[in-house]
Structure 1
Amino acid sequence: METADNCRRGAFEAVSDVEPPALREYIETTLEEASMVPGVLTIESAAATAPDGHSHLDATSQPMPPTDRDVDSSLEFAEDIVDTDGIRNRAAGVQLIYEGLRLTRSLAHEEPWNDHEDDDDARTDDAHRGDLEILAADILVARGFYLLARTNAAETAVKTVQAFGRDQSQRREQAPKTVDSSTVDANLERDILELAVRTGAGAVGETPTARLRSSVESLADGIEIPFPPAAVCLADLETPPSERSPEDHRATSATDP
């Protein structure tokens, strides 16, 4: 099974007890249609930063999009490093936080409660949908926090949500006169990429390598809103073995400081 499916399954499991059924079904539909970039990047980062780790982010020989087998190899390798369920749970946590914030951003921009002002029935339906969506957004973020609560990524997750709140407040109060709305909105995707990298590396007791950080920064510079499919988005992060920097894979000894 490809890594994206593992991430999606972990996200489904985290919300499997949500009630009422209509709310759970809406959340599951949202996750089914979502790009798994945050979750996949978390797993890739764990594999890439682990001792002697490898990942399609920095270990491919051809600049082609990763196949299902290529992408899943990172998770298989991670089984030898740390509890696989632990990595999946962290990946699901990052994914859920992103989906919740992305949905919140969409609601803030569209404001379904204000649609169809001349049609009472349509306005009622839109208001009901809006209420359902905002509940779903709250649950997604809360479950994401729960999965990351006792990890070294918890503080970064909190900062990500706080930054999102500040950005959206600034957008609402100042746009479009003094703020580039698209740039402000894209801050969420950039911050989630940072959260994914830190969460993945932290899962194996490491910090992101300089090479991994550089690759993700390049991705963030041209990020789409929302994320495209993982196989498309992460294909640009591949680095041929000949271009890997020595410090990314330097062997360490017990006498190293």
Structure 2
Amino acid sequence: MKEASHVRSAAREAVRDIDPEPFNEVVTTALETGSMAPGVLVVLSARALDSSIAIETVAERAAGTQLIYEGLRLTRRLAAEDPWESDGSDDANVAVLAADALVARGFYLLARTEAAGSAVETVRNFGRDRTCDRDERRLEADVFRLAAVAGTTVVDGHPSASYREFVADLADEGVTELPTAAELFDTATRDALSRRASAPFESADAGMRTSATDS
């Protein structure tokens, strides 16, 4: 899937200047094997409203969304595995720093976009969910909602409630890891994205989970 390749390249480019080189390799490794579905959804959300938009126009937002997801996903894995119990090296500590760097760079890329508020809410929700030991799949649902905002707003649109919940449901289809973008976004799903993307206007920051009491 060419969108996935473009997103991965944009994400790599976004972290290229992180030093020192050994640490950069740790950061970049997180981008090599994971699903590019969050970033691809940014592209598809933009194209659902404007099919002619060039991927270069939305690549930075796609990379920002992908980096936030990769950083939070790495944090979740470290919390679940608790590598400090079995590993006497500094690898786990370096991985924590890499996760922070990924999220921070993702924030930087989205900071001046309409998706900035949604990015903040995504990270806040993740922190609450980890504290309360809630369903781990909520991260993917929130990141997909973020992707919907990041993509539609690049063409002066806004994701409807129907669109946001549709993409959140897509995130729940995976078991422990997101499927590849090609598997997740088949022709039928792309058509469904286009249909829902044209629903009435809503605030770009609407539709995110904000209550600590959500179940």
1:144 to 106, 109, 113: 106
Letter in 1 for 2:159: P
Give deviations 1:117-175, integer Å, cap 9, x for gaps. xxxxxx322xx11011101100000000000000000000000000000000111xxxx
Local SS of the residue matching 1:165: helix
Residue of structure 2 in register with 1:178 after alignment: none
1:228: how far off? 1.4
Answer 1 or 2: higher relative contact order, Cα 8 Å, separation at least 6.
1
Whether 2:132 is the aligned partner of 1:170: answer: yes
Contact 1:210 1:248 survives alignment (8 Å): no
Aligned to 2:96: 134
Give runs of aligned pairs for residues 24-173 of structure 1, distance below 5 A.
Answer: 24-49=24-49, 53-54=50-51, 77-79=52-54, 84-115=55-86, 123-125=87-89, 128-171=90-133
Q: For the structure 1 residues 224 and 233, does the alpha-carbon distance in structure 2 shift closer, same or farther, using more than 3 Å as the test?
A: farther
SS in 2 for 1:142: helix
- Partner SS for 1:4: helix
Q: Distance in 2 between matches of 1:145 and 1:244?
A: 29
TM-score by length of 1: 0.71
Q: 35-44 or 209-218: which moved more? A: 209-218
SS in 1 for 2:88: helix
What 5-or-longer segments of structure 2 have no aligned partner?
A: 201-215
* 1:37-93 deviation digits (Å, cap 9, x = unpaired): 0000000000102xxx34xxxxxxxxxxxxxxxxxxxxxx212xxxx5341000000
Cα distance between partner residues in 1 of 2:170 and 2:73 = 18
Aligned partner of 2:207 in structure 1 is none
User: What SS does the aligned partner of 2:30 have?
Assistant: helix
Tell me, in whole angstroms, the C-alpha distance in 1 between the residues paired with 2:98 and 2:124: 19
Give the one of 187, 191, 204 matched to 1:239. Answer: 191
Name the counterpart of 1:64.
none
Aligned to 1:7: 7
Whole-Å separation in 2 of the counterparts to 1:95 and 1:225: 17
Select the residue among 96, 114, 138 that pairs with 1:187. Answer: 138
Runs of 4+ in 1 over 4 A off after TM superposition: none
Alpha carbons 1:97, 1:141 under 8 Å: kept: yes
Label 1:202 to 1:10 Cα distance change in 2 as closer, same or farther (>3 A): same
Count of paired positions: 199
Between the two proteins, what is the percent identity of the paired residues? 43
Question: CA-atom RMSD, angstroms?
Answer: 2.5
**2:179 is the counterpart of 1:228:** yes
Q: CA deviation at 1:249?
A: 8.7
Instruction: Tell me how far apart the structure 1 counterparts of residues 11 and 191 of structure 2 sit (CA, whole Å).
Output: 29
